[in-house]
Chains A and B, each alone.
Chain A
Amino acid sequence: MNRRTLFFCLCCGVSAIALPLRAAEVMVFAAASLTDSLTGIAAAYEKQSGDKILFNFGASSTLARQIEEGAPADIFFSADEAQMDGLAKKNLIDPATRKSRLGNSLVVVTPADSALQIRSASDLTNAGVKQIALADPKAVPAGVYAKAWLTRQQLWPDIEPKVVPTENVRATLAAVEAGNVELGVVYKTDAGISQKVKIAYEVPLADGPAISYPMALVRESKQPEAAKKFLAYLSSKEAGQVFKRYGFILLE
């Protein structure tokens, strides 16, 4: 072993010992629709606890898949129960920590300058609506919910040929913002963060499927204590107020 390698090994050894002394870094895999609210909550939490919160935002289906493949997640915050159920079945989350925290609702959005009028779900089948952006209805929660709503309205067969599936709900929003589709179906909370879209139709809660966001500790977590602390904070009143401000429904 030459001197350089020895030095390198020493450095690695020292940093390996030093790492646990640093503040914990908690990796949260969270649904794309939680991007803004969670970033705000985490900033407040970091100041208060000294721990660092890192995020991987994306479609819950993609995140669940990444956790299955062994991605280093500490917390999973999904936009639907089905993705969490999938992980629970494979024994990848700690069921004792699982909690359904938030509810949401669906809205139909159009570009802010669009003249399109949507008065009911059946207006989505109008000839003026050529392309409809949805998060991929095969897997991504926002799309799965939208499909469930339209199936219940018996409109899905007419809508399906117009669907442009996107990676996640924020990509749906982006497609509408850019004006590349006539409309899209997103969560009410997503519509609220963009100036470039307007809500053309709110899906009545009774018409749509129940939307529920569960969160849980990932079993493989390297710092379960720090992760549990952040989970507790997410259930707190302070965090609840932030979620509410973004339009989420708090589930107790």
Chain B
Amino acid sequence: MTGEDWHVVWFTAWVSASSTLAILPFGLALAWVLARRNWPGKSLLETFVSLPLVMPPVATGLILLKILGRRGAIGGWFHDQFNLDIIFTWRAVLIALGVMSFPLLVHFARVAFEEVNPRLEQIARTLGAGGWRVFFTITLPLAARGITAGLILAFARALGEFGATIMVAGNIPGKTSTLSLSIFQNVQLGEDSHAFRLLGVSVVLAFAAVWSSQFLMHRKCKTK
């Protein structure tokens, strides 16, 4: 493992965690709305949100490339207004990971919210609690387990993302290179032993993420 490899590992963990945290508020808000509200055409929104989960990641990457590129709607605006580039930078990695793991978070959080008995919320309201207070003291704690599972899965999805990332961020050593991208590149270069070392690290990372989630769940079960 060279210094560059450790940089890749650190960057992958950091950008995956950041993207998961960045989508958390939006994911929770959307999941809550989907769980608690009904309106005509709701299924359209549900389908739209889960698209990145079922579409080829490269296709999602292409859409992002067109939007975030220097001539795209969003990328162009940032480029003109702030002279800030998204494409081929770490920002593109962050956005790609966020978009790809968003459906997982929303799905799990929504199921978690649906499992919270609405009567408990109503009781809290009759006792005088406002909407936000009910959400933070009743709904969120009761849904915490499911949300944690969603968060960990979203993080794990981000760790392994490949297709969308390579489309919007390329594979720039020291800048946008993530674990998946470097494993791929090392295999391309014929440096299999190097790729195997990175593979080892990704196994350890994935194991740690899943194992810690199980640990968290068990502890929560016991305290209940």
Contacts and interface: CB of A to CB of B under 8 A. Distances in A.
B170 A62 contact: no
A62 B188 CA distance: 6
Nearest to A131: B88
Interface of B: 65, 69-71, 85, 87-88, 170-173, 185, 187-190
Given A61-B189, A65-B190, A178-B71, 7 more contacts: A131-B85, A131-B88, A139-B189, A164-B88, A178-B69, A179-B69, A180-B87
A163 interface: yes
B70 A180 contact: yes
Given A131-B85, A138-B189, A139-B189, A164 B172 contact: yes
Nearest to A61: B188
A139 B188 contact: yes
Say whether chain A's binding surface is mostly helix, strand, loop, or mixed: loop
B189 A180 contact: no
7 contacts: A65-B188, A136-B185, A163-B172, A165-B172, A165-B173, A180-B70, A181-B88
Interface string A188-209: 0000000000000000000000
A212 interface: no
Interface of A: 59, 61-62, 65, 68, 130-131, 136, 138-139, 163-166, 178-181
B170 A166 contact: yes
Contacts of B172: 163-165
A62 B185 CA distance: 10
Contacts of A68: 190
Contacts of B87: 180
Contacts of B188: 59, 61-62, 65, 139
Nearest to A59: B188
Given A62-B188, A178-B69, A179-B70, A165 B85 contact: no
Contacts of B190: 65, 68
A165 B70 CA distance: 17
Contact of B170 (A59, A130, A139, A164): A164
Nearest to B170: A164
